Amino acid sequence: MGVDGKPLSPNYKGEIFCCHDGLQCKLKNGVQAPSRKLSLRYKITWVDWDEHQIPLKFYILDSTDRVRKNGTNTIHDCQAEYTIMTNGSGDYHVQKANIPMEKGGYLIYGTGHMHAGAVNVTLYGQDGRALCTSTPKYGTGKEPGNEKGYSVGMSICYPKPGSIKINDGETLTVESRYKNGFFTGVMGHMYIYLADRLPKERITPQNNPTLS
């Protein structure tokens, strides 16, 4: 049974749609797993705010987003994950969404979130320019964080500040690319940080010849 209360397909191997209270991973018949209580511990660091720090806006863009309009309002309908069925056409499966950005800004950071079978995820501007491409790193061992065959990390884009600006109202395209095969519960997300403005250059005697 999925999070929406509807039965899941027998081919569904287990992803977010079966991750809700009272459920667990599927076990072999007859196996009695022990109960455990687990806790998470966080370590939080921070710096004191000053005039040189610029706030960022964080966006998660989903390649399954089925954007529609209701009058002047933009409605986002993200599926979060999807299934890829094997087909005989091409080496890759491509999933994309066109997402209008009500508020733009300077692109400071970008990275993807994908699963096993991923090739890359790319963010395009309205004019077709590639703003960021994030590719997966696959594990090669057995230890936690390096599981062989699984996506254990994604590359990060750090554009030069001010080099990429997304305009207010610009429509971005998120395109996720997977190998052509049967995969369930895959994702094609792009995480981006946008800044409304750039930091002002600090004036010092070394870079301002008028000062003495």
Flag the least confident range among 20-24, 106-110, 128-132, 147-151.
20-24
| Angstrom distance (rounded) from CA 166 to CA 105 | 5
| Angstrom distance (rounded) from CA 82 to CA 84 | 7
The arithmetic mean of pLDDT across residues 79-107, rounded, is 88
- Tens digit of pLDDT for each residue in 150-204? 999 999 999 999 999 999 999 999 999 999 888 888 999 999 999 999 887 544 4
Sequence-distant (≥ 6) Cβ neighbours of residue 104 within 8 angstroms: 165, 166, 167, 168, 169, 170, 194
Of all residues in the chain, the percent with pLDDT exceeding 90 is 53
The arithmetic mean of pLDDT across residues 111-120, rounded, is 95
What does DSSP say about strands 105-114 and 92-100: parallel, antiparallel, or unpaired?
unpaired
Of all residues in the chain, the percent with pLDDT exceeding 70 is 82
pLDDT at 13: 61
Average predicted confidence (pLDDT) for the chain: 85
pLDDT at 188: 95
**Which residue would you say has higher pLDDT here, 95 or 47?**
95
Q: Within 10 A of 195 (CB to CB), how many other CB atoms are there?
A: 18
Give how far Cα 159 sits from Cα of 62, 100, 104, 199, Å: 21, 21, 15, 15
Residues in the chain: 212
